[in-house]
Amino acid sequence: MSLDHSPPLPRPQKRPRQAPSPMVKPHCFQLVNAQKRLLPFAPRNTLCFTAGDFTGDKKLELLFLTPGEIYVYSNEGTLIAQAKGPVQGNAAPLRVVTHRERGRPHESFFVAWGRHTIARQGTISLWRYTLTGKKIKATNLYSPKSKRHDVQDLRVDSAGTLLFAFFTSKYEVEVRRFPPPYNSAPTLVQRANMISQVAFYKAGSTLIGRIYGDTPGSDGELYRLTKGVKSPPFPTQGGVRALLTPRVKAGSTNPILAYVGDGWNKNYGKKARAYLAAITSKGGKLQRRLLDTLPMDFALFSLAQGDLDGDKKLEIVGKGNNTLAMWRPNEKYKRHVLAYLSGYDPIVLRDVDGDGRDEILLSKPSPMLLSLRTPQ
Ligand SMILES: [Ca+2]
Ligand SMILES: [Ca+2]
């Protein structure tokens, strides 16, 4: 017989199973305020798709990158040039940017290769490609040693400087800066855990966005790095997944210093939010202004700026895990949903057909050009 008269402990109750958040479910591809132009000639296994004037004829060509292959097509679908990617390691193209180098009539393209998502092989390397006639000339810029061959970000500024962020181990990400003409070793900008995005910032400094802080699962952050010195954290909410520093016309100022896709949480099924926020400065103090929250998404993964309607003013375009949306600064950032589609690819905007309106270049579900359905 027990002498313990304390009331029996309640039996641990089974926690009721909660349904996953609707934000987690991938959305079927559906156009809303956009129209599409399919590119049936594009390689079926395209992972990266961008455009640029690679031949110097003042028209834009289309560039498709597949695991191990590079294809340049005219806008009408004629194959102009084809080449192999890095021979070693079966690498997959993970990021691509283009830039017209000084004194050249055509754009170069820069590709970060790395681990293939399906084959799970491939090593990180960064290459520069230029076209001479039908020949693609490849130059290896960097092949870092790494224990994890995933790439986080690749950016280029108007001067052609590259910012390259890639994993060196399970959590650590390294950021390197390559000024043109890319013939000297890249400088180390930063090495920190879980850097997700990098961006050029004023006065030669760099913005660094992180998914998590130093402790695994803790809130991420956004800060400015100037000559290796870290600024106090900018005001953000949760982790940072998307980052954009707006283009500013010479001689003018923009009250918005950066657009941020923050709100990340390790519990992305329930707690993470797809926030679009702006960092502004008031009286020398940085402030975060929440502009919108995508209701069908758990994060914004890419932000870009372009003129989709041809009014010479730049719109903000954002890609969440389920939604592609556009916001106009002069409409108080009212959301225009362009399409529903799943995936995490960075947004590419270019005026491919030269009509003064930017198209959105999508590689998934299949390579296509989206344009704004007018009037919007
Ligand atoms: Ca516009
Ligand atoms: Ca266009």
Say yes or no to pLDDT of 12 above 90.
no
Please give the residue that has the higher pLDDT: either 23 or 66: 66
Distances (CA, A) of 158 to 97, 164, 179, 200, 308: 12, 15, 11, 10, 21
Mean pLDDT across the chain: 92
Q: Which residues surround ligand 2, an ion (CB under 5 A)?
A: 351, 353, 355, 357
What would the pLDDT profile of 95-115 be if each residue is shown by its tens digit?
999 999 999 999 999 999 999
Say yes or no to pLDDT of 232 above 50.
yes
Residues 6+ apart with CB under 8 A from 106: 53, 54, 55, 56, 100, 130, 131
pLDDT bracket for residue 1 (50, 70, 90): very low
Say yes or no to pLDDT of 353 above 60.
yes
Count Cβ atoms below 10 Å from residue 367 Cβ, excluding itself.
Answer: 21
Say yes or no to pLDDT of 3 above 60.
no
Cβ burial of 154 (10 Å; 0-12, 13-18, 19+) is buried
Q: Are 286 and 235 in contact (CB under 8 A)?
A: yes
Say yes or no to pLDDT of 6 above 90.
no
pLDDT of residue 89: 62
Q: Which ligand has its closest atom nearest to the C-alpha of 308?
A: 1
- Interval between CA 362 and ligand 2 midpoint (Å): 14
pLDDT bracket for residue 251 (50, 70, 90): confident
Q: Which ligand has its closest atom nearest to the C-alpha of 361?
A: 2
pLDDT of residue 9: 55
Q: Which ligand has its closest atom nearest to the C-alpha of 353?
A: 2
Tell me the two tokens of residue 156. Answer: 């280029």
Say yes or no to pLDDT of 5 above 90.
no
Q: Which ligand has its closest atom nearest to the C-alpha of 316?
A: 1
Q: What is the mean pLDDT of residues 321-336?
A: 97
pLDDT of residue 233: 96
- Interval between CA 355 and ligand 1 midpoint (Å): 13
Paired with 275 in beta bridges are 293
- Interval between CA 357 and ligand 1 midpoint (Å): 8
Paired with 320 in beta bridges are 300
pLDDT of residue 219: 92
What would the pLDDT profile of 163-205 be if each residue is shown by its tens digit?
999 999 999 999 999 999 999 999 999 999 999 999 999 888 9
pLDDT of residue 52: 98
End-to-end Cα, the chain, rounded Å:
79
Say yes or no to pLDDT of 54 above 90.
yes
pLDDT bracket for residue 25 (50, 70, 90): confident
Tell me the two tokens of residue 279. Answer: 């960092």
Q: What is the mean pLDDT of residues 41-47?
A: 96
Q: Which ligand has its closest atom nearest to the C-alpha of 305?
A: 1
- Interval between CA 352 and ligand 2 midpoint (Å): 5
Q: Percentage of residues in the chain with pLDDT exceeding 90?
A: 81
pLDDT of residue 27: 86
pLDDT bracket for residue 16 (50, 70, 90): low
pLDDT of residue 127: 97
